[in-house]
Amino acid sequence: MTRLALVDALRSGDIRALARAIRIVEDHGASAVALLQAAFPHAGRATVIGVTGPPGAGKSSLIDRLVSSYRSDDRRVGVVAIDPSSAFSGGAILGDRVRMQRHGTDAGVFIRSMATRGHLGGLARATGDAIDLVDAAGFDPIVVETVGVGQDEVEVVRTADVVSVVLVPGMGDEIQVLKAGVLEIADLFVINKADHAGADRLEADLRSMLDLAEPGPLPEIVRTVAVRDEGTDGLRAAIEAFLATTEAGRRAARRRERAEARLLAVLGEGLLDRVVARALPDGAFAAVVDRIAERTIDPYTAAERVLARVEVR
């Protein structure tokens, strides 16, 4: 199938074509670029819902409930999971790339987990690409699940149209995790496993922390018990209220940030591949690495020598 035919097929709702397209994009060969170029004009319509939080917060169960909620309104829902501890992504690592859970036989749900390995920035690039393809295939909303502790993972989720941060009572570290750049990106908080002891304490801690933070409207705090499907409606209402009340300017700014992050990721990866191949062909790269390991040259001097040979016409 040509790239164009593949894009046509995935746009017409062919799930296998979509899965195949994402695989091509993850492998990142030359045909991946042509594929993304063809799909790009058809993407950008879906609402992207970011769900992040520490491992064990129950993000997958919550997403499962959210998917059912959207399905009951006949919305086709995409899920892109890049949390290595996720029930979805756990499968990715073991080679079971598409783990469908109870939505497995539902053609209106597309779940894809991304491996978290590869080169610096590669995860952000591949995830942006996958979201575009799922978007071009007409799924809306698209839920992106990341673990809110890794730098790359936070970068990926922060430019979603709405960012939900999921916490659970009694983990001890939840507030510390918040300090690490997650507080600023939250549009709303979810206290999951809210039937556990400590939910009130967690909410109180969260409120006092939010009060100390920047001025402006405080993010809503929603309580859920995902395993019993409690609070799902409240969460969905909070997501939709946030999206409805966000001014167009703020939403455009978020999408602009997403565009910038993608451009930098694509450009950074492309530059490194191209320049290293040309400036340090064959054994030259390995020889420089050896010299750095032996401490006879430092990485900055080595990089400067390469950079001095780079010209921009």
The H-or-E segment that residue 112 falls in is strand 109-113
- Asked if 196 interacts with its own copies (CB under 8 A), we say no
Instruction: Report d(CA 218, CA 202) in Å as an integer.
Output: 16
Q: Nearest approach, Cβ of 37 to its own copies (angstroms)? A: 5
- Asked if 50 interacts with its own copies (CB under 8 A), we say no
Retrieve residue 282's tokens.
């064959």
Instruction: Report d(CA 126, CA 123) in Å as an integer.
Output: 5
Q: Nearest approach, Cβ of 305 to its own copies (angstroms)? A: 10
Nearest alpha carbon to residue 18 among 143, 142, 130, 145:
130
- Looking at the Cβ atoms of 94 and 105, the one nearer to its own copies is 94
Stretch that binds its own copies, among 7-15, 61-69, 70-78, 270-278 (CB under 8 A): 270-278
List 86, 164, 192, 224, residue binding its own copies (CB under 8 A): 86
- Asked if 104 interacts with its own copies (CB under 8 A), we say no
- Asked if 95 interacts with its own copies (CB under 8 A), we say no
What's phi and psi for 224, nearest 5 deg? -140, 155
Q: Nearest approach, Cβ of 236 to its own copies (angstroms)? A: 25
Helix (H, G, I), strand (E, B) or coil at 281: coil
List 1, 176, 207, 284, residue binding its own copies (CB under 8 A): 176
- Contacts with its own copies in 1-40 (CB under 8 A)? 33, 36-37, 40
Count of residues touching its own copies (by CB under 8 A): 84
Cis preceding-peptide flag for 281 (omega within 30 of 0): no
- Looking at the Cβ atoms of 71 and 291, the one nearer to its own copies is 291
- Asked if 249 interacts with its own copies (CB under 8 A), we say no
Instruction: Report d(CA 118, CA 161) in Å as an integer.
Output: 26
Instruction: Report d(CA 274, CA 272) in Å as an integer.
Output: 6
